[in-house]
A and B are shown apart, each in its own frame.
Chain A
Amino acid sequence: MHLTSKEFIEGFKNKNKDTFSEIVNSFGDAVYASVFRIVGNKDDAEDIVQNTFLKAFTKSETFRGESSILTFLTSIAINETNMFLRKRKHLLYVDIDTISNHPHIPASDISTEKKDIKRIFDEAMDKLPFQYREIIVLRDMDGMNTKEVSEILGISQSAVKTKLHRARTLLKTLLKDKKDGLL
């Protein structure tokens, strides 16, 4: 199915079943990747993503079209992730075993050297406070722009820039502590 952007948005707001399916196919992987990077395990990420889509579709009529559908979905996903982490007080980040055993990343795709860098990176991310981790995931890993991140987190663009600067500075220090010469 090829829908124009207007048909896509109208279908979403009007709870059109085909549009919902198209939305899962178009944005499912992106939403899943963001959540997985923050919570660090497949089962929890899957529960959060399922709830995210259920919530998004249940209240799709509230989507005003001022942001993109992906921004709308990610915003719900970040809220769901926040609630989950608060409930579980589970602040672990991805470890290399989780990544290596992830069914959607063939183990052969990750060389030993890359595994080492990945492990160091994940350990450093694990040490970042949640508010910094989410901004690194959204801005630097998911490639969202400042405006999109500001909409998702409900903060000003200037606050996004300040937070991102602090997050990158802290992550850089953590990475340098772990492995000199990595950066």
Chain B
Amino acid sequence: MDCSKIKKKICGYIDKDWDEKCCLEIEEHLKTCISCQEEYNEIKKLVELCKAQKNMKMSDELRKKIFEDIKNINCNKE
């Protein structure tokens, strides 16, 4: 595989989407190609950065509103 094909497969490689043969081919290429190594490192860091974004929780007010909706759904059904 040439660099353009490898670069297109790097995301899938990080996500473990490819079979063993394809992964080995990518790994062999990465050992010798600085440009693809750079692409791999950057995408990997990007995925880590995305994963590191903080989780958020819904407010108690919103939870109460939804519980109120649930009550009404049951009332309407009855």
The residue in chain B whose Cβ has the minimal distance to the Cβ of A54 is B69
Partner of A33, one of B8, B51, B55: B55
Q: Given the interface contacts A104-B57, A165-B11, does A183 sit within 8 Å of B62 by beta carbon?
A: no
In contact, A104 and B46 (Cβ under 8 angstroms): no
- Size band of the A side of the interface? 35 or more
Q: Is B4 an interface residue (CB 8 A)?
A: no
Q: Given the interface contacts A33-B55, A46-B62, A117-B49, does A17 sit within 8 Å of B74 by beta carbon?
A: yes
Tell me the residues in window 94-149 of chain A with beta carbons closer than 8 Å to chain B beta carbons: 99, 102-105, 109-110, 117-118, 121, 136, 140-141, 143, 146
Q: Given the interface contacts A20-B70, A146-B17, A161-B12, does A49 sit within 8 Å of B58 by beta carbon?
A: yes
Partner of A58, one of B47, B61, B73: B73
What CA separation (Å) do A53 and B73 show in the bound complex? 11
What CA separation (Å) do A46 and B46 show in the bound complex? 28
Tell me the residues in window 15-33 of chain B with beta carbons closer than 8 Å to chain A beta carbons: 15, 17
The residue in chain A whose Cβ has the minimal distance to the Cβ of B9 is A165
In contact, B58 and A141 (Cβ under 8 angstroms): no
Tell me, rounded to whole Å, the shortest Cβ–Cβ distance linking B76 to chain A: 9
Tell me the residues in window 34-55 of chain B with beta carbons closer than 8 Å to chain A beta carbons: 41-43, 45-47, 49-51, 53-55
In contact, B54 and A109 (Cβ under 8 angstroms): yes
The residue in chain B whose Cβ has the minimal distance to the Cβ of A165 is B11
Which residues of A sit under 8 angstroms from B77, Cβ to Cβ?
15
Which residues of A sit under 8 angstroms from B1, Cβ to Cβ?
none
Q: Is B3 an interface residue (CB 8 A)?
A: no
11 additional contacts, CB 8 Å, given A17-B70, A46-B58, A54-B73? A15-B77, A29-B56, A29-B57, A57-B69, A104-B56, A140-B51, A141-B53, A165-B12, A168-B47, A171-B46, A175-B46
